[in-house]
């Protein structure tokens, strides 16, 4: 065999390196063994993180991508190995996270024969990915990888799946110069800028008396944080964020009025119903933000900045659309804005913020007696890290308390499952986040339910030596479901109480330091111990079993129908 030829597996390694990949999250198996054999010779260039479950690999890749801005890469085997990644792929699709999942597959001649560990991965993955493709020839590896990375990272980001047959892995191909994809004829990742739309948006904003900006993750994905500040400051526009948009603006930024949505801050939710111009930037009007669409912001003229034209008018009718990358479109609109001030309008937010502090925040963060609350734990950890850590959450009450009370100084500081709400997301995502931002403190808040869905990833932390700070908010309930049962199902707590193991002993079995506390007097010392410990740490905090997350807008209700207790 000519020395100028390499296997499809080696071609994959070289392609990944050419795309700037430095880390792979994966789990080996029969149908991907040739690729892992090739990986053996590329250990200096490619770090492999051996997870304990393929779902964990996808969530870790998501965490890595969110904080680093790079494409996360997953490598798994065929059949169950590939199907185990589907939850993470679907999560990445909804939350616009760029990952490339490479799955082994039986040899091409065996396709359709129900061979051992065969599954129609492309067919399964297509509905929940940007692109799914089967590589059947070694000659197609470089081409497929180049397209996969381009599609995953450009335009609205998302997951791509490559199904890699065994014969393509071992087949030979001539060594060629790798070429990154920069254009695909059938794919327009960024719509052409329409000058008339830019002018129409600027005109509406210039005439607005009560403008309100809604900030989504699109700002972070496009790297438009500075353009956003210039835009808001020039027109003096108050802003609020979706969960995934948090950290695009610092928490203490003067024009930042807080969090939107079901458990968001009262002021921006109330003012959504009073603004005359609603400016949505890189967000998709999720139902957890809008509540009842029939009554949502009917008084306002809506301007929607987005890179994905399918989002325009999908949920909320818009007066003006501005299609394109936010970094470009915001700058174009800002150039046409008149310097303005809306002091009186901004001051209208203050009474609502004061009401929320009095009725909700003070009680949650500074309780005078009783059990520890989730909110006060989140608040104290955030303060102890100087509000400069990366927040990772699982899903449920821990998530809502995390996003409400953790504060941010810099962008790309929040990793959570937004649209899909995947329990078990937190622990593996925190692993990926720490690898993607090795110089930052990563704090994971998880509940006793969600942590146990992927608790095996403590083994990944142990083996790879990953310094993640795990704060387990243990209320012995599936807390968010229990809250709904209390409010809407007459306190019929059906299958939400949990008998739990000794989590600190489990952590100890994985050679991870840990401590359990239940008294308020222990909290600050325990947090300090956690942060000062070299390496991973699990801090289990026994919190109020029947704690509630307020404010709360019931699902499907008017956005201003806010419960405070």
Among residues 119, 145, 174, which one ends one of the domains? 174
Q: Say whether the peptide bond before residue 354 is cis (omega within 30 degrees of 0).
A: no
pLDDT at res. 4? 85
Is 262 a known active-site residue? no
Is 428 within a domain?
yes
Is 117 a known active-site residue? yes
Looking at the fold, whether 73 and 123 belong to one and the same domain comes out as yes
Q: Give the C-alpha distances (Å, rounded to integers) separating 526 from 67, 234, 394, 433, 517.
A: 27, 44, 21, 23, 8
Please give the residue range of the domain that contains residue 321.
Answer: 195-348
Looking at the fold, whether 500 and 466 belong to one and the same domain comes out as yes
- Active-site residue, from 110, 117, 139, 274: 117
Query: Starting from the edge strand earliest in sequence, which strands make up the sheet with 513-517, in order?
Result: 414-415, 390-393, 442-447, 469-474, 537-542, 513-517
Q: Give the C-alpha distances (Å, rounded to integers) separating 560 from 221, 238, 262, 285, 538.
A: 29, 18, 10, 16, 38
d(CA 54, CA 472): 23
Whether the CB-CB separation of 84 and 117 falls below 8 Å is answered with no
Looking at the fold, whether 126 and 245 belong to one and the same domain comes out as no
Cα separation of the two ends of the chain: 74
* CATH code (residue 11): 3.40.50.970
Is 355 within a domain?
no
Among residues 140, 174, 208, which one ends one of the domains? 174
Query: Which conformational region is residue 466 in: left (phi greater than 0), alpha (psi within -120 to 50 degrees), or beta?
Result: beta
Looking at the fold, whether 343 and 404 belong to one and the same domain comes out as no
Over residues 315-368, the pLDDT tens digits come to 999 999 999 999 999 999 999 999 999 999 999 999 999 999 999 999 999 999
- Active-site residue, from 13, 36, 54, 374: 54
Mean pLDDT in the chain? 97
pLDDT at res. 2? 56
Looking at the fold, whether 337 and 430 belong to one and the same domain comes out as no
| pTM score, whole prediction | 0.97
What is the SS3 assignment for 533? Answer: coil
Looking at the fold, whether 258 and 401 belong to one and the same domain comes out as no
d(CA 490, CA 429): 35
Crossing angle of helices 54-68/426-436, nearest 10°? 40
Give the burial class of 69: count Cβ atoms within 10 A of its Cβ; 0-12 exposed, 13-18 middle, 19 or more buried: middle
d(CA 235, CA 277): 12
Residue 443, strand partner residues: 391, 469
532 CB neighbour count, 10 Å cutoff: 8
Nearest 5°: phi and psi at 407?
-110, 160
Average pLDDT score over residue span 494-517: 98
Nearest 5°: phi and psi at 385?
-95, 5
Is 190 within a domain?
no
- Active-site residue, from 130, 166, 321, 434: 166
pLDDT at res. 1? 44
Is 357 within a domain?
no
Please give the sequence-ordered ranges of beta strands (E in DSSP) within 242-395, or none if there are none: 256-259, 277-281, 301-306, 320-323, 390-393
Looking at the fold, whether 391 and 465 belong to one and the same domain comes out as yes
Is 445 a known active-site residue? no
Is 301 within a domain?
yes
d(CA 183, CA 180): 9
Is 147 within a domain?
yes
Whether the CB-CB separation of 451 and 478 falls below 8 Å is answered with no
d(CA 246, CA 261): 12
Higher pLDDT, 368 or 385: 385
Looking at the fold, whether 43 and 135 belong to one and the same domain comes out as yes
Is 59 within a domain?
yes
Closest of 277, 281, 280 to residue 326, by C-alpha: 281
Looking at the fold, whether 106 and 220 belong to one and the same domain comes out as no
d(CA 34, CA 32): 6
Is 189 within a domain?
no
> What is the domain count for the chain?
3
* CATH code (residue 288): 3.40.50.1220
CA atoms within 13 A on the CB side of 288: 15
Looking at the fold, whether 487 and 529 belong to one and the same domain comes out as yes
Is 116 a known active-site residue? yes
Reply yes or no on whether the pLDDT at 133 is more than 60.
Answer: yes
186 CB neighbour count, 10 Å cutoff: 4
Average pLDDT score over residue span 18-40: 98
Among residues 348, 380, 404, which one ends one of the domains? 348
Average pLDDT score over residue span 400-427: 98
Over residues 451-467, the pLDDT tens digits come to 999 999 999 999 999 99
Q: pLDDT band for position 502 (50/70/90)?
A: very high
Contacts of 201 (CB under 8 A, 6+ apart): 279, 303, 305, 320, 322, 333
Looking at the fold, whether 102 and 212 belong to one and the same domain comes out as no
- The residue behind tokens 């060594």 is 175
pLDDT at res. 176? 87
What is the SS3 assignment for 246? Answer: coil
Looking at the fold, whether 117 and 211 belong to one and the same domain comes out as no
Is 217 a known active-site residue? no
Reply yes or no on whether the pLDDT at 120 is more than 70.
Answer: yes
């Amino acid at each position: 065999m000519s020395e100028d030829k390499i296997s499809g597996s080696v071609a994959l390694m070289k392609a990944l390196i050419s795309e700037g990949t430095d880390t792979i999250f994966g789990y080996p198996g029969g149908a991907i063994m040739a690729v892992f054999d090739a990986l053996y010779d590329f250990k200096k260039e490619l770090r492999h993180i051996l997870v304990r479950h393929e779902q964990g690999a996808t969530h870790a890749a998501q965490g890595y991508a969110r904080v680093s801005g790079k494409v996360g890469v997953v490598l798994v085997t065929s059949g169950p190995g590939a199907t185990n990644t589907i939850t993470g792929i679907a999560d990445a699709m909804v939350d616009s996270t760029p990952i490339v999942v490479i799955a082994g597959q039986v040899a091409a001649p065996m396709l359709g024969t129900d061979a051992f560990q065969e599954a129609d991965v492309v067919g399964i993955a297509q509905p929940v990915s940007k692109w799914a493709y089967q590589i059947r020839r070694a000659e197609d590896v470089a081409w497929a990888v180049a397209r996969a990375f381009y599609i995953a990272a450009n335009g609205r980001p998302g997951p791509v799946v490559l199904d890699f047959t065994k014969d393509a892995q071992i087949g030979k191909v001539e060594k060629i110069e790798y070429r990154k994809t920069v254009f695909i004829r059938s794919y327009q990742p960024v719509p052409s800028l329409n000058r008339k739309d830019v002018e129409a948006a600027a005109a509406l904003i210039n005439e607005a008396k009560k403008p309100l900006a809604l900030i989504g993750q699109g700002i972070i994905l496009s790297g438009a944080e500075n353009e956003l500040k210039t835009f808001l400051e020039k027109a003096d526009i108050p802003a609020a964020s979706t969960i995934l948009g948090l950290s695009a603006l610092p928490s203490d930024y003067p024009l930042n009025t807080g969090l939107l949505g079901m458990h968001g801050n009262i002021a921006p939710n109330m003012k959504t119903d009073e603004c005359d111009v609603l400016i949505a930037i890189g967000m998709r009007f999720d139902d957890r933000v809008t509540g009842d669409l029939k009554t949502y912001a009917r008084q306002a003229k809506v301007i929607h900045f987005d890179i994905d034209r399918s989002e325009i008018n999908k949920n909320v009718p818009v007066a003006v659309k501005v299609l394109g990358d936010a970094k470009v479109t915001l700058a174009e609109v800002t150039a046409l804005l008149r310097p303005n001030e809306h002091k009186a309008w901004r001051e209208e937010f203050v009474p609502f913020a004061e009401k929320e502090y009095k009725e909700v925040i003070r009680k949650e963060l500074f309780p005078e007696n009783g059990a520890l609350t989730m909110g006060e734990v989140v608040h104290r950890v955030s303060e102890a890290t100087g509000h400069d850590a990366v927040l990772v959450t699982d899903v449920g009450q821990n998530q809502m308390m995390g996003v409400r009370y953790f504060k941010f100084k810099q962008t790309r500081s929040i990793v959570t499952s937004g649209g899909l709400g995947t329990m078990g997301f937190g622990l593996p995502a925190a692993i990926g986040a720490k690898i993607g931002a090795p110089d930052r403190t990563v704090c994971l808040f998880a509940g006793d339910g969600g942590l146990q869905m992927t608790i095996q990833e403590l083994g990944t932390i142990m083996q790879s030596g990953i310094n993640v700070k795990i704060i387990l908010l243990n209320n012995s309930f599936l807390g968010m479901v229990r809250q709904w049962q209390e409010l809407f199902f007459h306190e019929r707590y059906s299958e939400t109480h949990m008998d739990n193991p000794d989590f600190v002993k489990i952590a100890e079995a994985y050679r991870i330091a840990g401590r359990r506390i239940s008294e308020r007097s222990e909290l600050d010392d325990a947090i300090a111990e956690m942060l000062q410990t070299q390496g991973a740490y699990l801090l289990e905090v026994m919190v109020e079993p029947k704690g509630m997350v307020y404010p709360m807008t019931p699902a499907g209700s008017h956005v201003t129908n806010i419960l405070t207790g």
